[in-house]
Amino acid sequence: MSDPSVIEPSTRYFRPEAFTADETLSAEEREALRERIRELLRSRDAVLVAHYYTDAELQRLADETGGCVADSLEMARFGAEHPASTLAVAGVRFMGETAKILTPDKRVIMPDLEATCSLDVGCPADAFAAFCDQHPDRTVVVYANTSAAVKARADWVVTSSIAVDVVAYLHQRGEKILWAPDKYLGDYVRRQTGADMLLWDGSCIVHEEFRGLELADLRREHPGAKVLVHPESPAAVVEQADVVGSTSQLIRAVTEMEAETFIVATDAGIFHKMHEAAPGKTLIEAPTAGRSATCRSCAHCPWMAMNGLRSLASALEAGEPQVTVDPDVAAGARRSLNRMLDFAAERARQVLGNGDA
């Protein structure tokens, strides 16, 4: 669903309509499905937990039914603390797995278990374990966008909002890092911390498409605009950012910064929450097509787009597909996830103690 406050960067940058699972539905069918989902959430004792990159319609449903729209870490935290016995996770598979790992007693369902992530797919557990075995002197830190098995092999799991803090802490302790899977985020963390980091060669197919030269052109067209960049983007894009941060941090930047115009380099799904949080501001998609491109990409994750009203309604109806995680794997992954959660809680206590909140 297009948002009138989001403007095209330029006619040079054609953004095709992103595929969404519900694009053939009429307005009446959508409303009927929305009503059915509201009813099923009540009758199945379920709560909807959606990521910022999912369709705006799912985000609105999550908000109006008492669920949550958040980044992957907050989704997992919310699901763990909510009393509902079923978590309906609209996002990609690793998010459902993280919910199941942290709340093994709850039923976790997803609209489509085939919805994955290029970072997860690009870091198979066996190959990753072999890579770790070759470097036993390194502390293994993995991004949340990984399978449960990769998390279980790691010492730490981190999200983009806490990666720099965790690696800086490990670096201060003299530890060398083995990082996976996103090479761009790893490179950003390495430059921020000065840590000795060995990087796995993975990338996000959405953020990798943002282009530095075209972003520089766009900044010249909008000299007052602030540039917000997710650190899964290439260095040539990150270098031009006024704010580099996780999805939650970028949404906060739009509300807290005085600028009226923002160029945003992350999945276009985030514009729904940004517009809601700061309705008067102008949001421009960062360019994704290179100067010599013959085929144009769009900044929208194809796997996030697999979450739709129809598939959510049928998952709630049937109570499946359910996310399952082998209990031994889950125990290992929980250990490295909890290390991050404890670290984040301790950091929050320190900030409060310093009066910096």
Report the residue from 18, 117, 197, 309 that binds ligand SF4 according to the rule CB under 6 A. Answer: 117
Report the residue from 119, 150, 265, 344 that binds ligand SF4 according to the rule CB under 6 A. Answer: 119
Q: Min. distance of Cβ 139 from ligand SF4 in angstroms?
A: 23
3-state secondary structure 131-161: HHHCCCCCEEEEECCCCHHHHHHCCEEECCC
Q: Min. distance of Cβ 144 from ligand SF4 in angstroms?
A: 9
Nearer to ligand SF4, 20 or 34 (CB): 20
Q: What is d(CA 148, CA 158) in angstroms, rounded to the nearest whole number? A: 13
CA distances from 151 to 84, 94, 124, 148, 236 (A): 26, 10, 11, 5, 29
Which positions ≥6 away from 323 have C-beta within 8 Å?
Answer: 89, 93, 96, 97, 99, 100, 108, 109, 110, 113
Torsion of CA 152, 154, 158, 164, to 10 degrees: 180
Q: Min. distance of Cβ 91 from ligand SF4 in angstroms?
A: 8
Nearer to ligand SF4, 44 or 209 (CB): 209
Report the residue from 46, 204, 215, 316 that binds ligand SF4 according to the rule CB under 6 A. Answer: 204
Q: Min. distance of Cβ 87 from ligand SF4 in angstroms?
A: 18
Nearer to ligand SF4, 102 or 123 (CB): 123
What residues from 287 to 346 belong to the interface with ligand SF4 (CB under 6 A)?
A: 301, 303-304
Q: Min. distance of Cβ 241 from ligand SF4 in angstroms?
A: 18
Q: Min. distance of Cβ 283 from ligand SF4 in angstroms?
A: 18
List, as one string, the DSSP characters of 222-266: STT-EEEE-TTS-HHHHTT-SEE--HHHHHHHHHHS--SEEEEES
Q: Min. distance of Cβ 327 from ligand SF4 in angstroms?
A: 26
**First-residue to last-residue Cα distance in the chain:** 36
18 scored as a contact of ligand SF4 (CB under 6 A): no
Report the run of H or E that residue 295 belongs to, with start and end: none
Phi, psi of 282 (to 5 degrees): -100, 130
What residues from 157 to 196 belong to the interface with ligand SF4 (CB under 6 A)?
A: none
Nearer to ligand SF4, 33 or 146 (CB): 146
What angle do helix axes 163-172 and 327-353 make, rounded to 10 degrees? Answer: 80
Report the residue from 206, 225, 286, 337 that binds ligand SF4 according to the rule CB under 6 A. Answer: 206
CB 315 within 8 A of CB 108: no
How many binding residues for ligand SF4 (CB under 6 A)? Answer: 14
Q: Min. distance of Cβ 195 from ligand SF4 in angstroms?
A: 22
State the binding string over 82-101 for ligand SF4 (x if CB under 6 A, else -). ----------x---------
Nearer to ligand SF4, 101 or 119 (CB): 119
Q: What is d(CA 5, CA 268) in angstroms, rounded to the nearest whole number? A: 12
Q: Min. distance of Cβ 37 from ligand SF4 in angstroms?
A: 22
State the binding string over 48-87 for ligand SF4 (x if CB under 6 A, else -). -----x----------------------------------
Task: Give the E-state strand segments of the chain in sequence order.
Answer: 6-7, 46-51, 68-70, 86-90, 107-109, 139-143, 156-158, 177-180, 197-199, 226-229, 243-244, 261-265, 282-285
Per the listing, tokens 């379920």 go with: 46
Nearer to ligand SF4, 40 or 92 (CB): 92
Report the residue from 55, 112, 214, 267 that binds ligand SF4 according to the rule CB under 6 A. Answer: 267
Q: What is d(CA 333, CA 337) in angstroms, rounded to the nearest whole number? A: 6
State the residues that interact with ligand SF4 by CB under 6 A.
53, 92, 117-119, 145, 204-206, 232, 267, 301, 303-304
